[in-house]
Amino acid sequence: MANIVLFVKNFQLGTKISEALTDLNQNVKFADGERFGLSEINESTDMAILDLDDSVFQTVAFISGLRKINKDMKIAGYMKVIHKETYERLKASGCDIILPSSSFVKNIHTVIT
């Protein structure tokens, strides 16, 4: 069972992701509170899932901050439309996986492996 933290402001999509992960027997927490939920990340966090359409979560500083807290966790994100330059910038900052929003929930099982 992996410990996964969701950085998702879209409640409907967040619920779908959470349900899919729970069905796969994963431990899921929604990040909220101070510092945009960074306090939810620790050494036992296996994965962070980000809504990269949100201007806060798609910044290099935010992703780099996650990576500094836990160098070993996987960082995955989704966007409605993936632009090459945005993709390259986010990958360089530490995001391991970037998928279109439309296929993220359908492919969640491959994201967590």
CATH number of the CATH domain containing 14:
3.40.50.2300
Find the mean pLDDT for residues 77-83: 95
The residue-averaged pLDDT of 68-73 equals 94
* pLDDT(16) > 60: yes
Structure tokens belonging to residue 10: 């879209």
pLDDT at 38: 78
Q: For 93-109, what is the mean pLDDT? A: 95
Cβ atoms 42, 70 nearer than 8 A = yes
* Structural domains of the chain, count: 1
* pTM exceeding the 0.85 threshold for the entire prediction: yes
| Mean pLDDT, rounded, for 81-88 | 94
pLDDT band at 56 (very low <50, low <70, confident <90, very high): confident
Quick one: tokens of 58? 């798609």
**Helix-helix angle 84-93:60-69, to 10 degrees:** 30
pLDDT for position 36? 61
Higher pLDDT, residue 35 or 13: 13
Q: In the structure, what pLDDT confidence band is assigned to residue 1 with cuts at 50, 70 and 90? A: confident
pLDDT of residue 34: 47
The Cα–Cα gap between 21 and 19 comes to 5
Tallying the residues shown for the chain, one arrives at: 113
The two three-digit tokens of residue 95, written as one number: 């995001």
Which strands form 74-79's sheet, in the order they lie side by side? Answer: 27-30, 3-7, 47-51, 74-79, 97-100
Domain residues for the domain of 25 are 3-111
